[in-house]
Amino acid sequence: MRVEKISLGETGQFSPIFLEYLAKNESLKDFYQYYPSVENAEKQIALKKAFPKRNRLRLEAVLNEQYGALDMSPRLRENIHALSEENTFTVTTGHQLNIFTGPLYFIYKIVTVIDACKQLKAKYPNYHFVPVYWAASEDHDFEEISYCYLYGKKYTWETDQKGAVGRFMPQSLSKVLDEMPDKAPVFEKAYLDHSNLADAVRYYVNELFGHEGLVMVDGDHPDLKRIFAPIIKQDIEEHVSGKLVDETTKKLDDAGFKTQVHAREINFFYLNSIHRDRIIEEDGVYKVNNTDLSFTREELWQLLEKSPEKFSPNVIMRPVYQEAILPNLAYIGGPAEVAYWLQFKAVFDHYQLPFPMLMPRNFGLVVQKSQASKIEKLGLKLADLFMEGHEIRKKYVRENSENDLLLGEEKAAFAKLMEQVKAKAVAIDKTLDGYMGKQETRLLQEFEGMEKKLQKAEENNQAVAINQIESIKEKLFPGGSLQERHDNFLNFYLTNPAILDEFLKGFDAFDFSFHIFMEE
């Protein structure tokens, strides 16, 4: 595959706060520590060197338990063991447990962390860098993970299970597997041979990327929560994160940036086998929303000491939890993630945790050979593909028509004529000035209508090319969405298992461009 790149700004797909962050806008400098670069990683290492040895040992033990009897590559075994050593650091991305990996960008996130670690190792050979996938196993929004798109068809997992999705039994996915037009053995074994969704995801992630040393961390574990317990207690008692995030949110709003998330007084859920519901405080009593459960202050702290796994961080505290248990240098996320992490630096500062380098994941588009051939024949530029459908049609027709479809000269001549007419009218009666202005506006609108008619007529003359453009647009931007946010990677992997290697070779973690993979 040939890889071509265009700037993220050219695509018209990204929010102002995300683009301004990448452009190093001065007004955002106070909301992060170091800009993501290979060079700044050395400064981040200096910040993270004090990561406690006991936490490293506990992390290694938990990972060995979670991987259990899973077949691990030598590189993966080495990486897990290396996490106990003081010269080892992680680069992390996080994602939900979408069925069959969900949209393509899950794969792009994983590839980005792997490539980032390779580049850091090349620059700093005396250190070890481990790519980490943080599995959002405690999320309870099942609807978000319950479907995927394959060959244009939506496949949906139906189950009445409740609570943290990582604890769901995945065997009922057999119905979806039976409906799929092609066999996917890695997912069949994952979903049918494992007792919960988190283990199933670990299996297929290991099958796809274990040879690259990728480590999956499932934070739903008592020993990891025990590390985090002091922060849980302080945050619930003092409402620290809620106050700090609110202050930061106001600063970002005042600077003209739209924020992503809103904090609560208590930013933790109560988690058990059937519930993941918010902890709320009413008159000194801690209640679990939507349940009959309640605790006095003393009972809540006893629960935290005995069963810290019952406390699940929300979107505000999950990043803090992650950084408390990982020797992490950088977090890699999508545009929305980068935007909401910018709201959290003050929370990290309060808990004396280094704020990681905040890196955008890689963004990609796969253009298959037949599509690439048509794009070349039509003479389309890659940036054109990101335009709205009506805009790309208009641009193509005007650039390829033998006729002049714009009435610029005619409108200019009309405007000059109207000036003469208005001058005559005003000379007779000054009150006619407003009337003549309205007539000029009405007639200019008629010219615009004529231009649209000419455009439409020329589109009809070039119907074959226009239909080809619309077909390409729908395949590359299904439903008007970016391919990476809609299509599942099986669309490409089932016919070309080497596609993952193409991504690993073609993406550059520190090149914040849109990568376009052109089949040849």
The band of 455, judged by pLDDT with boundaries at 50, 70 and 90, is low
Is residue 117 one of the residues assigned to a domain?
Answer: yes
Does the structure show a pLDDT above 90 at 468?
no
Q: Pick from 151, 293, 306: which is nearest to 229 by CA?
A: 306
Does the structure show a pLDDT above 70 at 457?
no
Q: Under 8 Å CB-to-CB from 191, ≥6 apart: which residues?
A: 170, 171, 173, 174, 177, 200
Ramachandran area for residue 291 (φ above 0: left; ψ -120 to 50: alpha; else beta):
beta
Range of the domain at 476: 372-481
Per residue in 6-47, pLDDT (tens digit) is 999 999 999 999 999 999 999 999 999 999 999 999 999 999
Is residue 490 one of the residues assigned to a domain?
Answer: no
Q: Pick from 329, 333, 387: which is nearest to 21 by CA?
A: 333
Shared domain check, 156 and 263: no
* Mean pLDDT calculated for residue range 283-297: 94
Least confident span in 81-95, 302-316, 464-478 = 464-478
Per-residue model confidence (pLDDT) at position 288: 96
Helices 499-506 and 105-123 pack at an angle, to 10 degrees, of 50
Whole-prediction pTM value? 0.89
Shared domain check, 267 and 213: no
Shared domain check, 444 and 388: yes
Per-residue model confidence (pLDDT) at position 190: 98
* Mean pLDDT calculated for residue range 353-364: 98
Per-residue model confidence (pLDDT) at position 439: 85
Per residue in 164-215, pLDDT (tens digit) is 999 999 999 999 999 999 989 999 999 999 999 999 999 999 999 999 999 9
State the CB neighbour count (10 A cutoff) for residue 123: 13
Among 350, 365, 380, residue at a domain's last position: 365
Is residue 505 one of the residues assigned to a domain?
Answer: no
Shared domain check, 327 and 203: yes
Shared domain check, 300 and 170: no
Per-residue model confidence (pLDDT) at position 54: 97
Shared domain check, 384 and 350: no
Per-residue model confidence (pLDDT) at position 461: 61
Helix (H) or strand (E) holding 433: helix 432-461
Shared domain check, 151 and 54: yes
Shared domain check, 406 and 378: yes
Shared domain check, 125 and 51: yes
Is residue 474 one of the residues assigned to a domain?
Answer: yes
Shared domain check, 423 and 291: no
The band of 464, judged by pLDDT with boundaries at 50, 70 and 90, is confident
The SS3 assignment for 281 reads strand
Shared domain check, 167 and 152: yes
* Mean pLDDT calculated for residue range 492-502: 94
Is residue 500 one of the residues assigned to a domain?
Answer: no
* Mean pLDDT calculated for residue range 61-69: 96
Does the structure show a pLDDT above 80 at 405?
no
> Integer distance in angstroms from the first to the last C-alpha of the chain?
6
Per-residue model confidence (pLDDT) at position 306: 97
Per residue in 307-354, pLDDT (tens digit) is 999 999 999 999 999 999 999 999 999 999 999 999 999 999 999 999
Is residue 437 one of the residues assigned to a domain?
Answer: yes
Among 311, 328, 354, residue at a domain's last position: 311
Does the structure show a pLDDT above 60 at 221?
yes
Token pair of 150 as six digits: 């394959």
What does the mean pLDDT of the chain come to? 93
Among 339, 365, 391, residue at a domain's last position: 365
Per-residue model confidence (pLDDT) at position 179: 95
Output the CA angle 134-139-140, nearest 5 degrees.
160
Does the structure show a pLDDT above 90 at 366?
yes
CB-CB contact of 308 with 229 (8 Å): yes
Does the structure show a pLDDT above 80 at 448?
no
Give pairs for 279-283: CB < 8 Å, separation 24+.
Answer: 279/236, 279/311
Give the count of domains, the chain: 3
Shared domain check, 329 and 408: no
Helix (H) or strand (E) holding 215: strand 215-218
Per-residue model confidence (pLDDT) at position 458: 63
312 vs 284, residue with greater confidence: 312
Per-residue model confidence (pLDDT) at position 131: 98
- Tokens 């409740």 belong to 162
Q: Which CATH number characterizes residue 36's domain?
A: 3.40.50
Is residue 510 one of the residues assigned to a domain?
Answer: no
CA distance 147 to 167: 17
Does the structure show a pLDDT above 70 at 459?
no
Does the structure show a pLDDT above 70 at 135?
yes
Token pair of 392 as six digits: 């790309």
Does the structure show a pLDDT above 80 at 451?
no
The band of 110, judged by pLDDT with boundaries at 50, 70 and 90, is very high
* Mean pLDDT calculated for residue range 85-96: 97
CA distance 179 to 182: 9
Is residue 114 one of the residues assigned to a domain?
Answer: yes
CA distance 79 to 16: 37
